[in-house]
Amino acid sequence: MSDINDRKLRMAMIGGGPGSGIGGIHRKAALMDGQIDLVAGAFSTDPEKNRAQGRDLFIDPSRVYDSWKDLLDKEAALPADRRPDLISIVTPNHLHFEQATASLEKSFHVVMDKPMTMSLNEAIQLRGTVQKTGRIFALTHAFATNAMVHLARH
């Protein structure tokens, strides 16, 4: 097995199906430095849109899942050299807490679009899950990849 420093990170995505503006932004941000491969996804609750997104992203059809729960269960069962290093969550806000908690409990690191949760109580619970699992939890502000932000920086 190769050291993680000698390879690209493997990412799975929950959400970000066709018509999802934020999904495309997050994929672009994650892939722009060439250090991450998108290897699996549960992009949409609509089966045809989900499969279409997987095809458009050149993902092995066996790793495009009908539900985020299936994605977590089946990807967690893969050998270490195939399973994702992280889960990117780009779903509607009210789903963030449940999906992040489940991902962390399956021993995945999590990169999630803001907002973290819908309440302070959920945020406190999520912090406890991060501490208990020892996994990395990152909250993104994806507009940093916007072309105008790059132009302003230069």
pLDDT tens digits for range 92-133: 999 999 999 999 999 999 999 889 999 999 999 999 999 999
The dihedrals phi and psi of 61, each to the nearest 5 degrees, come to: -55, -30
Angle of helix 120-133 versus helix 96-105 axis, rounded to 10: 10
State the burial class of residue 54 (Cβ atoms within 10 Å of its Cβ: 0-12, 13-18, 19+).
buried
Query: Which tokens belong to 7?
Result: 């390879």
* CB burial of residue 37 (10 Å; 0-12, 13-18, 19+): middle
Better pLDDT: 89 or 1: 89
Q: Which of 27-31, 113-117, 131-135, 148-152 has the highest mean predicted lDDT (pLDDT)?
A: 131-135
Model pTM score: 0.88
For 58, residues 6+ apart whose C-beta sits below 8 A from its C-beta are none
Between the two ends of the chain, the Cα-to-Cα distance in Å is 40
